[in-house]
Structure 1
Amino acid sequence: MKAQKLNKAWTDIYYNLHYNYKEVLTHQNIRFLQTINKNEDVTIHFLSKVMALSHNTTSEHIQRLQKKGYVTKKKNIKDERQVIVSLTTKGQDALKQHTELDEVKINQIFESLTINEQDKIIDAFNTLGEISKKLFPDN
């Protein structure tokens, strides 16, 4: 029941506070960008494991994202057989637009709250984030 309440609150928050999308990307595209952003030295092999896709399918997705200017591919300096996938500035901007809350809207909300209320919200989100990283480190 608490999970349902949290999900309801979160979806309401996200619905009201998300950025207006400038870039049209699929959910799977966003998951690729998130995975690249949250990890270091990301390879096609790593992405295929995390996304539960074949190496070829993953490679095709990354090629499309590269053509659109969201990612770059470079040879790994430590092991030239590996290709490291990174976000471009355009990819970082698109990811922010699709996954974060609009800072202008958040600031408007915080202006209407007391310092104590602001701190409670930030503490609650930090606690949820820290525990989720501990319990689900491979996401």
Structure 2
Amino acid sequence: MNPTELNKYWTDIYFYLRYQNQNEDKISHQGVRILQLLDKCEYIGIKEIAKNIDVSHNTASEHVKRLIHKSWIHKERSTRDERMVILRLTEQGRQVLKRNANLDEGKLEQILARMTPSEKQIIDSALHLLSERAKNATNS
């Protein structure tokens, strides 16, 4: 397997198994990326968002303001450092993220129901390994 093949598999999987009606949320790609960051990182503020999505502090701040206005995220003071504002997903934000970044669980259940136990184990092992290696790749 090479990276080109892996990317083809990944894009095929996402294309066919994504949730439909994603456009009803009216969220930008940057907005989805911010929601993903908040989902994956416990303590994150504007500075970290700007760095992670490679935009200026002001641009990140504008994106965050829009997401707060839509009630998809909220701000709270850090218990570690009162000067720091931490951003968190709301339940509504979690649902928007699910519709715009996850695979459709109903479609996945249909596919998994047609697989043998050994096929399910192969998929589980491979995706678990790739997930763990991906986490390590972003931390280096």
Q: Normalised by the shorter chain, which TM-score bucket?
A: over 0.9
Of the candidates 93, 99, 109, which is equivalent to residue 101 of structure 2?
Answer: 99
Q: Distance in 2 between matches of 1:136 and 1:77?
A: 27
Of the candidates 43, 46, 60, which is equivalent to residue 44 of structure 1?
Answer: 46
Q: Distance in 1 between matches of 2:9 and 2:53?
A: 27
Give the aligned partner of residue 19 of structure 1: 19
Normalised TM-score (structure 1): 0.93
Q: Distance in 1 between matches of 2:92 and 2:13?
A: 25
RMSD between aligned alpha carbons? 1.4
**Does the aligned pair in 1 maintain the 2:30–2:63 contact within 8 Å?**
no
Structure 1 window deviating more from structure 2 (8-17 vs 46-55): it is: 46-55
**Does the aligned pair in 1 maintain the 2:45–2:84 contact within 8 Å?**
yes
Gaps of 5+ in 2: none
**Structure 1 outlier segments of 4+, above 3 Å:** none
Give the aligned partner of residue 74 of structure 2: 72
Q: How far does the alpha carbon of each residue in 1:66-121 deviate from its partner, in whole angstroms, 9 at most, with x for none?
A: 00111001122222211111001111111111111111111100111100001101
Normalised TM-score (structure 2): 0.92
Give the aligned partner of residue 10 of structure 2: 10
Q: Distance in 1 between matches of 2:137 and 2:44?
A: 22
Gaps of 5+ in 1: none
Aligned-residue identity in percent: 39
Number of aligned positions between the proteins: 138
Q: How far does the alpha carbon of each residue in 1:47-83 deviate from its partner, in whole angstroms, 9 at most, with x for none?
A: 1222222222211111111001110011222222111
Partner of 2:139, secondary structure, is: coil
Q: What's the CA shift for 1:43?
A: 1.0
Letter in 2 for 1:62: V
